[in-house]
Amino acid sequence: MITDALSDLLRVVRLSGGIFLDAEFTAPWCVAAQAEPEEYRDLMAHPARVISFHYVVQGRLLLQMAAEPPLELRGGSIVLLPRNEAHTLASGAGLRPARGVTPEQPDGGPIRLRYGGGGEKTHIVCGVLGTDARQHPLLDTLPSTLVLDLNGSPACEWIATSFRYAASELTAVRAGSAIALAKLSELLFVEAVRRYLETLPADRRGWLAGLRDPMVGQALALLHTQISRDWTAEELAREVGASRSAFAERFTELMGVPPMKYLTGWRMQVATERLRETHRSVAQIAAEVGYESEIAFARAFKREFSASPAQWRRQLAKS
């Protein structure tokens, strides 16, 4: 059920991307790392949001982010950074990031970087996943890092094998390897989120806990993928196979708000994004987020933001 709900929700997010860097380091080494637009411009246009990741093909490294404890990663592990925050990668603790390291960019392939002091070798490939969704509760509630160890996991073995093979073809710039890695990157993200959901404490509350719950997770998937549908609490409960009272109680317990209030909030979030990012009329956006009339949409919008949709859009344009 987690898989089904997560898959449905990721269809709304629409991730795309791939590998932009193939790096080999030899100890001692340390580099500052954060995916920048000029590095992944060949993979995607102008995503509103970027998830970066590192796959350790061989060797080991330490990832350090701000004041958080360092993460040690070994060959066969992948770390995803849902908010693409600045961090360092190094062969050990206490090293300063190098300056002036010059990568190569061959035609038709990812950036290549070879650097270090000649010791133990670490081979990593770095990539990004981008989405046009500036806000989404799934992405907003993930931790700063997600680590997925592909070693010895039957469920991940085919992903790991495929990813290692595709990564090995990067140096040869083989036809199709970039597409394969883009698709595998999406699968790795889904698997990492699934594993994270499975580790949440049983008493956890909030959006991710709701996604993990069979009943509430199915409801979230329905609300997010069919936002324009004329939902009622009764109809939603029927779709997930529960009585209205049992469903409403469970949803409110996990999510902190009743189902219809959650739906209104999600509709307003989508509406603001479309008012900001598109030139669609207010009437068009109202229909897209489930309101039968522009007047009803404007009334709900004003309750939430103390301004009509048109006023909100004009204010945004002036800022």
pLDDT at residue 169, as a whole number: 64
Average pLDDT over residues 200-205: 80
What distances in angstroms separate CA 154 from CA 96, 149, 176, 226, one per listed residue?
38, 11, 26, 34
Domains of the chain: 2-199 (2.60.120.10), 208-318 (1.10.10.60)
pLDDT tens digits, 112-152: 899 999 999 999 989 899 987 777 788 888 899 999 887 77
pLDDT at residue 106, as a whole number: 64
Task: State the burial class of residue 98 (Cβ atoms within 10 Å of its Cβ: 0-12, 13-18, 19+).
Answer: middle
Q: What's the helix, strand, coil split of the chain in %, to 5?
A: 45, 20, 35
pLDDT at residue 307, as a whole number: 94
Average pLDDT over residues 26-43: 90
pLDDT at residue 229, as a whole number: 95
For the ranges 151-165, 167-181, 234-248, the lowest mean pLDDT is seen at 167-181
Residue 172 has pLDDT above 70, yes or no: no
Residue 227 has pLDDT above 60, yes or no: yes
pLDDT at residue 123, as a whole number: 93
Can you give the C-alpha Rg of the chain in angstroms? 22
Residue 10 has pLDDT above 70, yes or no: yes
Please state, rounded to an integer, the average pLDDT across all residues of the chain: 86
pLDDT tens digits, 269-280: 889 989 988 899
3 state DSSP class of 67: coil
pLDDT at residue 293, as a whole number: 95
Average pLDDT over residues 183-208: 81
Residue 71 has pLDDT above 90, yes or no: yes
The rounded percent of the chain whose pLDDT value lies above 90 is: 49
